Amino acid sequence: MNVTTPALLFPAISLLLLAYTNRFLTLASLIRKLAEAESSLGSEARLRQIMLLRRRISLTKRMQVAGVFSFLLCTLSMFALFISLDWLGLILFGISLVTLSISLVFSLWEVLISTNALNVQLQDLEGYARARQQPSKSRAEEDQNAAE
């Protein structure tokens, strides 16, 4: 193995870290919006959203740490190969690939939780829609009874 093999991973890891940063910024924005709209949400839905956001933040932190660690190990691997420590470079590159895989697993887990959070929000919206429909049905029934 030569220095170019780990160097191929550099652009991929950099783009991955950029995507992770965007996920983090999105989470921060969601948390701020939830804090602003705290009074308009039902308490159960709000608590479920907060729980899911906490889990997502934790996973985002873990995937960022694993991604940065992968990037660092990839750099050290290239340095080891540059100074002709082939065995060390190979080991560091292997560990780099493992930590990159761990980072991707955390990312997948966070995406699954994110879709669950969206389902919670949709359930909350469905509850609001049903609550709005019920008064209009009772008014229509009252109007019908009054006409009779």
What's the pTM?
0.66
Using alpha carbons only, what angle is made at residue 117 by residues 115 and 109, rounded to the nearest 5 degrees? 55
Helix locations, 8-85, DSSP H? 9-36, 43-82
Question: How many domains would you assign to the chain?
Answer: 1
Amino acid identity at 81: L
Tell me the C-alpha distance between 37 and 18, whole Å: 29
**What confidence score (pLDDT) does residue 1 get?**
73
Q: How much of the chain exceeds pLDDT 90, in percent?
A: 22
Domain carrying residue 25:
4-146
Crossing angle of helices 43-82 and 9-36, rounded to 10°: 160
Biggest CA-to-CA distance, the chain: 96
Statement: residue 72 has pLDDT above 80 = yes
Buried b (16+ CB within 10 A) or exposed e, 70-104: bbebbbbbbebbeeeeeeebbebbebbbebbebbe
Q: Could you report the per-residue pLDDT of 89-143, keeping only the tens digit for each?
A: 999 999 999 999 999 899 889 888 888 777 777 777 677 677 777 765 555 565 5
Tell me the C-alpha distance between 53 and 29, whole Å: 11
pLDDT bucket at 73, cuts 50 / 70 / 90: very high
Q: Could you report the per-residue pLDDT of 7-65, keeping only the tens digit for each?
A: 777 677 777 878 878 877 787 777 767 666 665 555 676 777 778 888 888 888 898 89
